[in-house]
Amino acid sequence: MKVLITGAAGFIGSHLVEKFLIQGWDVVGLDNLLTGKLENIEDYFQEPNFTFIKYDVTNFLYVKGKLDLILHFACPASPVHYMKHPIHTMKVDSLGTLHALGLAKEKGARFVLASSSEVYGDPEVSPQDENYRGNVSLTGPRSVYDEAKRFSEALAMAYFRQHRVDVRIARIFNTYGPRMDPDDGRVIPTFIKQALLKEPITVFGDGTQTRSFCYIKDMVEGIYRLSTKEGISGEVFNLGNPEERTIIEVAQLIKALTSSPSPIVFKPLPQDDPKRRKPSIEKAKKILGWKPKYSLEEGLKEAMPWFRGKILGS
């Protein structure tokens, strides 16, 4: 079996490369290295079943030979990154998704879209289940990502309905773990870096906004099940950990786990920062037989040696 993974050098993409290689698949990884890093996948370069192609999926996409599965994971995912590259973000989730879907149609391959909890915007209901239609700003700074992911979902469903491509959509909620770029601005790597360097931990707003954090190993297992299960064409699944935490709690937890003397300081809340985010994962539990195993404490403890090595070099 052969899988093409776009965004293979990214945080989640690189863990998917590892998972599919372990499961005996031939893996072709694609990345333009805008936000992905070669070091995330350098361990797999000597694997005979792994091929890496540096490529930007906003260009016409073709891969020789058969393909059974395409995982479309290319896209800057951190708010700092996608606001720095707003137009490329919109291109990758429009032109890039179009090219990846066209290739899936051509090869008769299954197609898995990495969508996001951002399609729910600043939700008015909690928890968010797959039927919730969201509360998204069309023009705010986050719209380049939110609307692009919504467009990608609509396009994927059009390929499912018109061309019968076996499409599945994963709405991925906040995920963390090794290989997250400590400088990408997302809350967990930022707080860990600040705590380890004994710098102030920067909570935005009053810290009462919530997120629900899923450990990468749990997320990869969920994506693998969604990718390999038969009979779920055209289905959308929330994947995430429903354990909801305030950002101030996360700051305190990371400070405690690192025994850091860092003070917690408050900075202005970015525009349109969602107030709450908590997935309902009832559908994934029932149909995929999946639920996260790691609590936030367990995941952070397991990931901490990697972050220490990366940030402190020890």
* H or E element that contains 120: none
Q: In the stretch 273-312, what mask flags binding to ligand UDP with x, by CB under 6 A? A: x---------------------------------------
C-alpha 75/C-alpha 90 separation (Å) is 9
Identify which of residues 94 and 246 has a Cβ nearer to ligand UDP in the complex.
Answer: 246
Q: Which stretch binds ligand UDP (CB under 6 A): 10-18, 38-46, 201-209, 287-295?
A: 201-209
Least CB distance from residue 116 to ligand UDP, whole Å?
8
Identify which of residues 55 and 204 has a Cβ nearer to ligand UDP in the complex.
Answer: 204
Contact indicator for 204, 265 with CB cutoff of 8 Å: no
Q: Which stretch binds ligand UDP (CB under 6 A): 13-21, 61-69, 107-115, 182-190?
A: 182-190
Structure tokens at 141: 């700074």
Residue given tokens 């101030």 in the structure block: 248
Of the candidate residues 58, 97, 209, 260, the single one contacting ligand UDP (CB under 6 A)? 209
Q: Quickly list DSSP for 61-90.
A: ---SS--SEEEE--S--SHHHHHHSHHHHH
**293-296, Cβ contacts within 8 angstroms, sequence gap of 24 or more:** 293/217, 293/218, 294/214, 294/215, 294/217, 294/218, 294/241, 295/243, 296/213, 296/215, 296/241, 296/243, 296/245, 296/250, 296/253
28: left (phi over 0), alpha (psi -120 to 50) or beta: beta
Q: Which stretch binds ligand UDP (CB under 6 A): 12-20, 32-40, 92-100, 198-206?
A: 198-206
Identify which of residues 95 and 253 has a Cβ nearer to ligand UDP in the complex.
Answer: 253
Residue given tokens 């994934």 in the structure block: 284
C-alpha 100/C-alpha 28 separation (Å) is 13
Identify which of residues 32 and 78 has a Cβ nearer to ligand UDP in the complex.
Answer: 78
Please give the angle made by the CA atoms of 194, 195 and 197, to the nearest 5 degrees. 65
Least CB distance from residue 274 to ligand UDP, whole Å?
6
Please give the angle made by the CA atoms of 298, 303 and 308, to the nearest 5 degrees. 135
Sequence-distant (≥ 6) Cβ neighbours of residue 309 within 8 angstroms: none
User: Catalytic site residue 82?
Assistant: no
Number of residues that bind ligand UDP (CB under 6 A): 14
* 179 belongs to the binding site for ligand UDP (CB under 6 A): no
Of the candidate residues 190, 212, 258, 260, the single one contacting ligand UDP (CB under 6 A)? 190
* 140 belongs to the binding site for ligand UDP (CB under 6 A): no
Q: In the stretch 249-278, what mask flags binding to ligand UDP with x, by CB under 6 A? A: ---------------------x--x-----
Of the candidate residues 144, 247, 281, 303, the single one contacting ligand UDP (CB under 6 A)? 247
Binding site for ligand UDP (CB under 6 A): 79, 174, 185-187, 190, 202-204, 209, 211, 247, 270, 273
- For the annotated catalytic residues, the residue numbers are 145
